[in-house]
Amino acid sequence: MSSTGHYVRAVPLSEVPPGKIVGVELEGKKIILSNFDGKVFAVSGICTHEYYELALGFMIEERVVCALHLSQFDLRTGEVFNPPAAEPLQRFNVKIEGDSVFVEV
């Protein structure tokens, strides 16, 4: 995980409740946010198989399922679980300041 980026304000924390995938675009990067046990995670919002937005997919437990060919990725780590995608999603650092979610891009 790179730490050379800078933090950009993404959304208010209240917009990332548990059980929801939130798609954002930060400095041209599509990113999806999720919340597990009060901790917010950010991974790339584009499937590593083809160019398809994972924010259009759906959630199963801690995974996002790509709506196009059903590869699943861990929303916390980016790990890929099943083909056709073979590469993990990029993961981004997240910090909470006040009531806002910041992502390191």
Instruction: List phi, psi (to 5°) of 15.
Output: -90, 0
> Distance between CA atoms of 57 and 70, rounded to whole angstroms?
9
Residue number with CB closer to ligand FES (69 or 76)? 69
Two tokens, residue 38: 């009060």
Two tokens, residue 15: 């917009």
Two tokens, residue 89: 């999603």
Q: How far is the CB of 84 from ligand FES (least distance, A)?
A: 5
> Distance between CA atoms of 83 and 87, rounded to whole angstroms?
9
Q: How far is the CB of 85 from ligand FES (least distance, A)?
A: 5
Residue number with CB closer to ligand FES (27 or 50)? 50
- DSSP 8-state assignment for residue 77: T
Residue number with CB closer to ligand FES (58 or 96)? 58
Residue number with CB closer to ligand FES (73 or 102)? 73
Q: Which residue's structure tokens are 């933090």?
A: 7
Interaction of residue 5 with ligand FES, rule CB under 6 A: no
Tell which positions 35-94 bind ligand FES, by CB under 6 A.
Answer: 47, 49-50, 52, 66, 68-69, 71, 84-85
